[in-house]
């Protein structure tokens, strides 16, 4: 089932990537189905593999021509002013996402013996040995130009919700019974027919991200329900944080401590504590508060000041919904819907899947926001997708959500 070929298999695949059955995924079956349906619809409408270009032909019937010439009337808001609208449309099949245009059609062929084209064929083209082809071609181009000037192009309007294509021409003159029209359009591929859609990498990543977002949204019901009232944001209140750590140490309660680099260093400069079971996740950044140091040097200081070897790192930013985490050696890993690339620091348009350079981030969880971030961070991306953050580009602006908090 590593390569899903049905909606049910894609559903199980996404849940496994989120931790099932090791973790309890707090998302109902209906919510999972809704998010997968949404992901498929977005794939069909916006991904180049989600639709196919097709040419559909249709032969006019007299009933359709009569209906196209008829008008529908409606009243204005005053209840008396009447407006009319011509029913100049033809129904199209479902799943048509867009129509690029309609191939030009004309009855100016061999039907009318007084038509100039008929006369050219009759008098000049019976034998190409006596008539040079380029002269015929130039005449045809000239006639096309005359048609364009006098008649213009036939506008086409398409309404996907109604599955109607509106043909804005003179239905009394231009629409003929048994005449064909051909439209150039895009049709959404149906996954039940083309089951390979369920195994598309973009769809698997996006569906997983949507389900995870739903999971997080469901868990917001626990926002105001805390097992420990001490779980909070301490900002610069180091004394209060120290007292909580001592209190939990005595009760042998496990703690996870998140903190920006400069705040953690400030804390251990004022308070010393030995908590071997304390899990520390530093989120990086001196933010101009202290001198920049390497991650290895930082972790040595934190281990010594907090008395623990459980020092981990987070890589994220206020512009992203997702984060990467490092459990050892400063090597970060991302969730499957978040990917890093590198660009040449001197060429903002360059892009590589791995190597050393400035960091570009794609985060599919950034729905209704910008999913593509070009950062001023400098790092190394490995072929397996893991990465290391080396530092910041020279003369880059100091950034950070904690600075935004302090400025406000």
% the chain with pLDDT above 70: 86
What average pLDDT does range 166-185 have in this prediction? 86
Which residues, including other chains, have CB under 8 Å from residue 401's CB and lie 6 or more apart? Answer: 317, 318
Say if residue 8's pLDDT is above 90. Answer: yes
pLDDT at 189 (0 to 100): 95
What average pLDDT does range 38-59 have in this prediction? 94
Of 192, 183, 198, 196, nearest to 93 (Cα)?
A: 183
pLDDT at 371 (0 to 100): 85
266-325 per-position pLDDT tens digit? 999 999 889 988 999 998 776 556 677 778 888 899 999 999 988 999 998 888 889 999
Query: pTM for this structure?
Result: 0.57
Q: What is the mean pLDDT of the chain?
A: 85
As a whole number of angstroms, the distance between CA 247 and CA 249 comes to: 5
pLDDT at 145 (0 to 100): 86
Say if residue 31's pLDDT is above 90. Answer: yes
357-378 per-position pLDDT tens digit? 999 999 988 877 888 889 888 9
pLDDT at 114 (0 to 100): 64
pLDDT at 168 (0 to 100): 85
Q: Which helix (H) or strand (E) holds 32?
A: helix 29-46
For 93, 180, 231, 382, the CA distances from 54, given in Å and listed in that order, are 12, 16, 58, 41
121-174 per-position pLDDT tens digit? 666 655 555 556 777 778 778 877 887 787 666 778 888 888 999 988 888 877
For 12, 223, 288, the CA distances from 213, given in Å and listed in that order, are 17, 15, 33
pLDDT at 408 (0 to 100): 47
333-342 per-position pLDDT tens digit? 999 899 999 9
Say if residue 397's pLDDT is above 70. Answer: no
> pLDDT band for position 110 (50/70/90)?
very low
As a whole number of angstroms, the distance between CA 10 and CA 198 comes to: 6
Is there a contact between 311 and 359 (Cβ–Cβ < 8 Å)? Answer: no
Identify the residue with better confidence: 9 or 103: 9
As a whole number of angstroms, the distance between CA 287 and CA 86 comes to: 65
Q: In what order do the strands lie in the sheet with 51-59?
A: 51-59, 180-188, 96-102
First to last CA, the chain: 50
As a whole number of angstroms, the distance between CA 289 and CA 291 comes to: 7
% the chain with pLDDT above 90: 45
Is there a contact between 259 and 289 (Cβ–Cβ < 8 Å)? Answer: no
As a whole number of angstroms, the distance between CA 20 and CA 15 comes to: 6
Say if residue 40's pLDDT is above 60. Answer: yes
Identify the residue with better confidence: 102 or 290: 102
Say if residue 33's pLDDT is above 90. Answer: yes
């Amino acid at each position: 089932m590593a390569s899903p070929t049905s909606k049910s298999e894609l559903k199980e695949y996404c849940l496994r990537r989120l931790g099932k059955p090791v973790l309890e995924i707090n998302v109902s079956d209906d919510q999972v189905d809704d998010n997968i349906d949404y992901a498929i619809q977005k794939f069909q409408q916006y991904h180049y593999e989600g639709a196919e270009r097709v040419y559909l032909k249709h032969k006019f019937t007299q009933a359709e021509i009569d209906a196209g010439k008829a008008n529908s009337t409606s009243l204005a808001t005053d209840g008396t002013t009447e407006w009319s609208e011509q029913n100049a449309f033809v129904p199209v099949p479902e799943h048509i996402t867009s129509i690029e245009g309609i191939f030009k059609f004309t009855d100016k062929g061999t039907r009318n013996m007084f038509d100039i084209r008929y006369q050219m064929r009759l008098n000049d083209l019976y034998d190409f040995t006596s008539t040079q082809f380029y002269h015929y071609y130039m005449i045809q181009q000239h006639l096309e130009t005359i048609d364009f000037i006098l008649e213009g192009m036939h506008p086409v309007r398409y309404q996907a919700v109604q599955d109607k294509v509106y043909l804005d021409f003179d239905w009394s003159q231009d629409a003929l019974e048994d005449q064909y029209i051909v439209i150039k359009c895009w049709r959404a591929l149906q996954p039940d027919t083309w089951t390979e859609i369920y195994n598309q990498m973009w769809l698997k990543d996006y569906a997983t991200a949507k389900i995870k977002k739903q999971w997080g949204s469901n868990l917001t019901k626990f926002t105001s329900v805390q097992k420990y009232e001490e779980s909070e944001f301490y900002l610069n209140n180091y004394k209060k944080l120290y007292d909580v750590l001592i209190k939990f140490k005595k009760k042998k309660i496990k703690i996870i401590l998140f903190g920006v680099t400069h705040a953690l260093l400030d804390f251990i400069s004022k308070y010393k504590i030995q908590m071997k079971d304390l899990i520390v996740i530093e989120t990086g950044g001196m933010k101009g508060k202290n001198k920049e140091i390497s991650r290895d040097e930082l972790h040595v200081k934190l281990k010594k000041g907090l008395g623990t070897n459980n020092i981990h790192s987070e890589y994220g930013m206020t512009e992203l919904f997702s984060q990467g985490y490092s459990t050892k050696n400063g090597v970060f890993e991302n969730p499957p819907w978040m990917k890093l690339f590198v660009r040449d620091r001197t060429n903002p348009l360059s892009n590589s899947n791995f190597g050393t350079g400035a960091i570009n981030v794609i985060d599919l969880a950034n729905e209704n926001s910008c999913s593509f971030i070009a950062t001023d961070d400098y790092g190394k991306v490995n072929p397996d997708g893991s990465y290391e953050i080396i530092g910041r580009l020279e003369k880059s602006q100091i950034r950070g959500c904690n600075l935004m908090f302090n400025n406000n």
